[in-house]
Amino acid sequence: MIKEAIKYLTELGQTETIRVDGQEYSTKPLHLIKEPRPAAIEVNTLSGLVEYLLSNFDTEENLMIHVESPTEVSVFSKTNKNKERRHWIKAEAMVPNFSYDRFYDTESFNIKLQSAFVPNDDRKALLKLASNVQEENVRSTGDDGTSQVVTAKVGVTTVADVKVPNPVTLAPRRTFVEIDQPESEFIFRMQEGPKCALFEADGGAWKIKAMKSIRKYLIQEFKVEIGQGKIHIIA
């Protein structure tokens, strides 16, 4: 009985191949033993990514930098014999939270504008309006279907009807801090309360601008020509 069991276990570990209709089959499933791959380092800045790569701390092989989005950049090597890539590092930008298409009360909107947007003329105008609006009633005016009027303080003691600016050009903080935040157009609307909201109006074109700026920054930092040298960059 023991002899038969040993024979069975021995045969169990043996693998044979069989040819059927010109194709070769294995009598047992085979599993590929893959090359080990490192876990990617995670950072939150482009400068951190650059410093790591310039240090040659883990590798000196040719690397590809992929600008995946305005907030994500990854670095990987060529495929190995298993046709897999080693991902060395990934940068993910930390950006303040702002919900577009959502109405905020004027106090919350004021805080968000100051903390999540780069100063410019239109931001200044919106801050002034949100801080001085007097009435809860927001009225539509004109025949274009888009204009709005609110009553706001226009002097030390004077209030008057003020037209709501629309559209506005703003630069939210929505990509890496090392590059200029791209400006884009927004539709600014108000509701009774009063409440304020911004709606994106550039069709996502700002993302292309941001990704190009990230690529330009990396090229300058690595001082490389596209397609030459140890570092290659795509966006």
The pTM (predicted TM-score) of the whole model is 0.77
Q: Is 30's pLDDT higher than 80?
A: no
Mean pLDDT of 32-59: 89
Mean pLDDT of 220-234: 74
pLDDT at 166: 82
**Which comes out higher in pLDDT, residue 121 or 30?**
121
Q: Provide the β-strand partners of residue 187.
A: 199
Greatest mean pLDDT among 14-23, 151-160, 208-217 lies in 208-217
Identify the band that residue 128 occupies on the pLDDT scale cut at 50, 70 and 90: confident
pLDDT in tens, 66-79: 999 999 999 999 88
Please state whether beta strands 139-140 and 23-26 pair in parallel, antiparallel, or not at all (unpaired): unpaired
- At a CB cut-off of 8 Å and minimum separation 6, what does 175 contact? 70, 71, 93, 95, 181, 182, 210, 213, 214
pLDDT in tens, 129-153: 887 776 555 555 444 556 666 655 5
Lowest mean pLDDT among 75-84, 97-106, 171-180: 75-84
**Which comes out higher in pLDDT, residue 26 or 160?**
26
Mean pLDDT of 96-122: 94
pLDDT at 232: 87
Q: Is 24's pLDDT higher than 90?
A: no
pLDDT at 136: 52
Identify the band that residue 154 occupies on the pLDDT scale cut at 50, 70 and 90: very low
pLDDT at 148: 65
Write down the domain spans for the chain. 41-94+209-234, 104-202
pLDDT at 161: 61
Please state whether beta strands 184-191 and 195-200 pair in parallel, antiparallel, or not at all (unpaired): antiparallel
Mean pLDDT of 18-26: 79
Mean pLDDT of 79-103: 92
Give me 98's structure tokens. Answer: 């702002």
Count Cβ neighbours within 10 Å for each residue of 7-46 and write b for 16 or more, e otherwise. eeeeeeeeeeeeeeeeeeeeeeeeeeeeeeeeeebebeeb
- Tell me the chain's radius of gyration from C-alpha atoms: 30
- At a CB cut-off of 8 Å and minimum separation 6, what does 153 contact? 132, 134, 159
Q: Is 10's pLDDT higher than 90?
A: no
Q: Is 163's pLDDT higher than 80?
A: no
